[in-house]
Every structure is written in C-alpha cells, then in structure tokens.
Amino acid sequence: MPTYNEFGAWVKVGGPRRRMLEYDTRVEDVRSTICYIASETGEKFTVCWRVPDDTVSYLVNLFIDGEFIDDCLTFGNGKRSGNFKGVWTGTKKKNPFMFSDITYESIGKCFNLIHHCQFISSRLGLLAEEYRPKDEDVTHGGAIENRPDNTLGIIVVEMYEVQVIDGYKRRAIEKTDKAKFAEKPKQIPEAKLNILTHTVGIAEESFRDRRPEICSFQECEEPKPVYCFEFHYRSEQLLRAQGILPKAEDTRRSPRKRKPLHDLVSMPPTKRERTAESEAEVELALIPREEDFPVKAETVPNMLPEVDEVEMIHPASKMTEREISTRLENINNEQYAIEEHRRQLESERELLDA
C-alpha cells in the first residue's frame, strides 16, 4: 500500500474485498506516488484512503480517467479513513465501480471509447460543489495538472488540507441522477491504443448507502494537494508485455531432444576397447542353456551328454542350487546304470567268443 507521512490510499476488489497488489511503486515528486495495478474485466473495486491522526481537516478527491467523481471531507476530530465504493444513481443508492473492456471505432486520428456498461460522467457525486471557488480547476490537482494526455487509465486520490467554516447538511439526491450516466463517447489519441485495454464503468446492481453530507469549507493558502496517489490500471497481459509484471514461467516439460534417424545412420561406427570382462560376457552369451534344448525321457540313454558338458552350468540359469544338485545326482545314477549295462554286454560277448 503506498503511504507517505501516514497518508495512504489503496484499491480493494472482489467479494471479501482483498487489496490489490501494487507494482513498480515510485515517488514521482515530493507530493505524488505512482504505482500500477492489474485490472480484470468485470471486477468491482473500491478506492480506500487514510489521513494522519491529527486535528487537521482534509478534503479527499477522487478522479477516474481525468474526470472528477466524488470527494469526502474529514473533520479534525472525526474519522481518519474512508472509501469510495461507487457513484450515486438515485436516492440512497449507489452503483459500484467496475473494470470493463473498451472498444474502438475509428474517427479520423482519434477513436471513440465505448464502455460495455454505463459511463461515469463528469463531476457526479460532488458533495461541496456549490461552495467551491469558481476559478478552481477540478479537472486535476496540482500534482498532475501539467501532464497532458495522461489521465486515461488512471485512478487519482488527492488530499487537501482545508478549514471548515460551517456545519454540514444532507444533500438531496435527485432521482434523475441515473440519467447523467448515459453513454458519452470519449476521444482517445491514436498513440494511446497500445497502452489502453480497460476502462472504468459502473455495475448494473446497486446498493444502499447514506445520503452524502455537505458543508462549506475554505482551502488553505497552498493550492496544491498535500499528497496525491495515482493508480495506473492495466490488464495483466499488458503489464507483462511492458515488463512491469514478470513473465509467467512455462511449467510444461520440454520434449526430449532426439537425434534424427539419418544422423545416427550417417555417424561413423565407434570402436569399443576389448577387455577381459567384455570377452567373458561374449563367451557366456554363446553358451546354450538347457531350457533351449528340451530332452525327452526316452531319448536320455541315446543323448547322454559328456561329463565335461554336464559339469558346465550356465551362470544365467534360473535353477536353484537344490535343483541343480538333484539333476546332477540323477545324471550320475543314469551314468552308473549305463556302465553296468555295458559291462554285462561285454561279458555276454566274451561268452559268445569262447
């Protein structure tokens, strides 16, 4: 929230009224603070203010897009804070402020600014207009009066030190006040097209509020405001494009970079260094596994493997140690039976020869 010597101003939006974040806040001069806020189409807002806790009376003025909207007088012994929620549209009724889109229609070198809702007219809601000096320029306060063409897209809160010379009374709200909000085109220089996306209008629904009170007052000798707060409202996309807001980081995963197939084909073959471990891996890969050559039961005597081959167990086999031991024991028993059968055949041959 911009503050200066206990003077402060801020903008609230949404149902629960959360305070908008200010960006690129800077002090323009001794009496003025400028910042940027991210506006959103259709969002209602309230302008809040605060003055020091002293015995001085202050007049707080609100300007939107260079037009006077409303003011509030705080007495030295009265409240020290307040807000501007909207504009009067009837007896005890106000319509809230709302950010809205703008469209452009070409008219020579300028363009018509047309709201999607009703326009805020000039000098509506002025509480002490009849007591204000005739030669006073209320289009802008002293802090920004010398800056031409810099009023669109800006909410200004000005604070003046005043002297109250009379009491207060109720102001009569005419039922025809709403007619003053009829659409009225505004001329926009063509150079402003690249920096304007939103404007301020009023929402359709209304709310009840107290009738404003007016009183006569006299400004102090110094004509300039004690302090001025400027809120430049822009869309979030425009603020990011102007570098006022940081660009949103891309959270999507970047695709893996793969070499095209033709690059892999055209690449020369790479030589691998031959080591003892690599040669052993090749030899193990060439050794056949037993499950690759199933042996039938009746062909065991005719396909008995050699002893050296039986003792060679492939290290990649999934057999347990117990299964391997059982298999070896069966093979040994079969081999012993074959030897016994061979000896019997040799004995019978000797008998025949005799």
pTM exceeds cut of 0.75? no
How would you classify the pairing of strands 227-235 and 32-39? parallel
Q: Does 310 lie in the same domain as 215?
A: no
Shared-domain flag, residues 77 and 149: yes
Q: Are 158 and 225 in contact (CB under 8 A)?
A: yes
Q: How far apart are alpha carbons 262 and 49 in whole angstroms? A: 69
- pLDDT class of 50 with cuts at 50, 70, 90: very high
**Mean pLDDT score, 252-259:** 53
Q: What is the pLDDT of residues 326-339, one digit of tens each?
A: 888 888 888 888 88
Q: In which domain, by residue range, is 322 found?
A: 293-354
Number of folded domains in the chain? Answer: 2
Q: Is 63 part of a structural domain of the chain? A: yes
Q: How do residues 135-160 score in pLDDT, each as one tens digit?
A: 333 334 433 333 335 678 899 999 98
Is 37:11 a contact under the CB 8 Å cutoff? Answer: yes
Which residue, chain included where needed, has tokens 């298999």?
A: 327
Based on the domain organization, do 303 and 202 belong to the same domain?
A: no
Q: What is the pLDDT of residues 170-179, one digit of tens each?
A: 444 343 343 3
**DSSP 8-class letter at 126:** -
Name the average pLDDT for the chain: 67
| Same domain membership, residue 236 and residue 300 | no
- Looking at the structure, tell me whether residues 170 and 97 fall in a common domain: yes
Q: Is there a single domain that holds both residue 300 and residue 224? A: no
Percent above pLDDT 90 for the chain: 8
